[in-house]
Amino acid sequence: MDSSGQGAVGPYELLLQLATGGMAEVFIARRARAAGAGAAGGPAEAGCSTEAVEAGGSSAAVAGGSSAAVAGVPASVIEAGGSSAAVQVGGADPCREPLVAVKRIRADLRYESGYAGMLFDEAGMASRVVSPNFVPVLDYGLDEGGAPYIVMELVVGVTLKNLTRPPEMLEIGDALDLIAQSAEGLHAAHEARDSSGELLQVIHRDMSPSNILVGVDGRASICDLGLAYALRRTTRTKTGTVKGKLSYLSPEQAHARALDRRSDVFSLGVVAWEALAGRRLFMGSSMLSILHAVLEREIPPLSSEREGVGQAVTAAVARALERDRDARWPTAADFARALREAAEREGHTASRERVGALVAGILPVPLKLLAPSYGSGGPLVTTESVAALRAMHASGMVGEADSSGILAPRRPSRG
């Protein structure tokens, strides 16, 4: 393996650090070349191009017949069971292997059992979610030193947080479409089931713009179940502990009460309000003032915040933001349906091409490099892309720290 990289995690070669968060760090990686493969530049497998052989060309390939380029292949994901065995999705072509995102616990936390348990819980839950609007977990395991990692599809995109930073404003129809897609991915997480068909009762608990990825094809995907709760998850959080970003907590989270899926609906309602209004909803100078805002501050109707937003859209978002959870949309799917119906009623059209162009304009350099090879299942490994990523690492380039812990790009200044 080329020494200019960042080493290996299980069977994956780390090429470039892409992001860091409070608990984890994320790398662009590739499946390491299978034993016995030919030297670089010389095909070792019949029918595969030089670039494909450079990618490894083993059963580690993850590609598929889906047209979903951002959130992944909507097929059952085989759990790795704590081993380093790769996951192969149906229809995979070993000559068209994608780069992946490898998430591992930060070095200073790597051998603390609580964090390892949280990472494996995240992998186990995410591997049960099947949706074109949810970033899939492809593999997970322990590296040679016993540290845990998970492998996800690499999304060539940015977070919704990066896409909606003031003074930028999404078109109303585009914002509604992205939130509706996100709600559909969230609903899929809520509906995740175990091997016996029983609901896992997943609650994300950290819905925010940092945990919604938007790809260069305009598709939105939910990511990061690091703080999620499931009835039968292995690790537990302390009773009364508040989890999640304060400005996006539901009232019941702020009170540290028992949660259900409607808590996530409220949090996504906050995201929707902000994406349409172009400003933050619950702000404060301290933790207590933010919590007070979540619990007590009047929520302005969207129709008063932005010209062109009518009563149908205003009402759909307002119902998601009801502090009485019995008055909210009962499911994220209901919220998504209401947003789409409101958009149609008010004549707001969405363009994923337009959104994709916005995303492409603010991609961090490493992902901009990979955009041309982006397709179903992620960007393809090529000799050129591997060499370029290694060169970026050698030059000291790293991803931006972000609370989401995944795929947070540097945003260029716009004057």
Active site residues: 206
Handedness of CA 243, 124, 117, 378 (dihedral sign): negative
User: CA 151 to CA 211: how far, in whole Å?
Assistant: 17
- Report the distance separating Cα 278 and Cα 170, nearest Å: 8
Cα gap 409→391, rounded to integer Å: 18
Q: Cα 275 to chain center, whole Å? A: 17
Residue with tokens 């995907």: 221
Q: What one-character DSSP code corresponds to residue 227?
A: T
Cα separations in angstroms, 394 against 6, 152, 381, 388, 398:
9, 24, 19, 10, 10
DSSP string, 123-140: HHHHTT---TTBPPEEEE
Q: What distance in Å separates the CA atoms of residue 404 and residue 72, rounded to the nearest whole number?
A: 19
Secondary structure (DSSP) of 178-220: HHHHHHHHHHHHHT-B-TTS-B---B----SGGGEEEETTS-E
DSSP secondary structure code for residue 395 in this structure? T
Q: Report how far apart, in Å, the C-alpha atoms of 119 and of each of 106, 233, 244, 262, 371 are.
A: 11, 11, 16, 24, 28
